[in-house]
Amino acid sequence: MVRIGIDIRGGDHAPSAVLEGIKKVANQLGQKTQLHLYGLEQDFADLSEDFVFHPCTDAIAMDEHPVRAMQQKPNSTLLRGMQDLASAKIDSFASAGHSGALMVAAMQMLGLYDGLSRPAVVSIFPKLNGGRTVVLDVGINVDAKDEQFLEFARLGKAYAQSVLSLNSPKVALLNTGSEASKGNLQYQRVYKLLQEQEPSFVGNAEARDLFSLEADVLVCDGFTGNMLLKQTESFFSLSRELGLKNEFLELLNYESYGASPILGVKGKVLLAHGASGPEAIKNMILSAESFASANFAEQISTSTTI
């Protein structure tokens, strides 16, 4: 049995978008997948009895202070779901809600794998040849330390192996040029660090080559990664405004991916875009199902020691 927890009250368009997304995905889940829904009592009225309902009394709003909200709303949908994940009552938990609260809850309730100092958020980018690239960090660690890039490589490789089924993923550093001397002083140091301590490191990669990379894992600090992610979203929006239609361009739509896993915490947590509509929620749930079934813990424990 694969048990997936969903925060019904998470997101700018919750609960309506989440409820519609749940209905859209119901017939696409595996026979042994069970949805655990965390919402207010009234949210369950129009849902079938095939789901497991967890009535809560509160929801954390998108503009609340994360730590204060956790202290004042212990029976909120987000915290109840995270508590059940921590106690192994569910196998994964996904929300389009307050990213800060979800991150703090994950750190406090789940803890980190040995050898890691911080979690990271991963995003998946398509390749023109049909492959995919794991990019991290894309938002949390905006002032990443040199050693954290090694952690990103470790996390990215474990995700590529367990979720994307890649046997020997290669790692590259997102930089301003392919030469070892490129980038600011930190990125020059990180290049040497990866070269010395990461066997799968293949060198620098430029943003213009994002969709045709040799590497399977692309590491960068959270500030740079978030800029790359937002620029890609902007490019997709521009293509739609210009009326451009192409099968590959559709792969750049964030709604196609649904959610980004928070890697490094001892539990499978996924964060979706706050503006997620029903299609994004549907794919968030499918991502949560895939991640719940992956042997990520095994891969991270056997990956390169930091």
d(CA 93, CA 7): 8
* Same domain for 208 and 139: yes
Tell whether 63 is covered by a domain: yes
According to DSSP, residue 244 is labeled -
Q: Which pair of tokens denotes residue 54?
A: 């967890």
The residues, ordered by sequence, that sit 6+ positions from 114 with a Cβ below 8 Å of its Cβ are none
> Is the domain of 202 the same as that of 170?
yes
> Is 305 among the domain residues?
no
Residues 6 or more apart in contact with residue 178 via CB below 8 angstroms? 203, 204, 205, 206
> Is 240:264 a contact under the CB 8 Å cutoff?
no
Burial of 207 (0-12, 13-18, 19+ CB in 10 A): middle
Tokens of 46: 């129009």
- Domain residue limits at 241: 114-255
Instruction: Compute the distance between CA of residue 214 and CA of residue 201 in angstroms, rounded to an integer.
Output: 11
Same domain as 59, residue 35: yes
Q: Do 126 and 21 share a domain, yes or no?
A: no
Mark whether 46 and 123 lie in a shared domain: no
Q: Is 170 strand, coil or helix?
A: coil
Q: Is 139 found in the same domain as 21?
A: no
SS3 for 263-274 is ECECCCEEECCC
Structurally, the chain folds into a number of domains equal to 2
Q: Are residues 215 and 187 in the same domain?
A: yes
Tokens of 33: 């997948």
Q: What is the pLDDT of residue 302?
A: 62
Give the CATH number for residue 236.
3.40.718.10
Position 297 scores a pLDDT of 74
Does residue 90 sit within a domain?
yes
220/277 same-domain check: no
**Residue 20 and residue 54 in one domain:** yes
Tell me what pLDDT residue 296 has: 80
> Contact, 222 vs 99, CB < 8 A?
no
Q: Look at the alpha carbons of 127, 234, 64, 75 in this order and tell me if their dihedral is positive or negative.
A: negative
Residues 126 and 226 in one domain: yes
pLDDT along the chain (306 residues), means of 10: 96 95 93 96 89 96 91 96 97 94 93 91 94 93 95 95 92 96 96 97 96 96 94 94 93 86 94 92 94 81 54
Tell me, yes or no, whether 68 and 131 share the same domain. Answer: no
Q: At what angle do helices 16-25 and 278-293 cross, to 10 degrees?
A: 60
Predicted confidence at residue 105, as pLDDT, reads 94
301 domain residue, yes or no: no
Do 67 and 161 reside in the same domain of the chain?
A: no
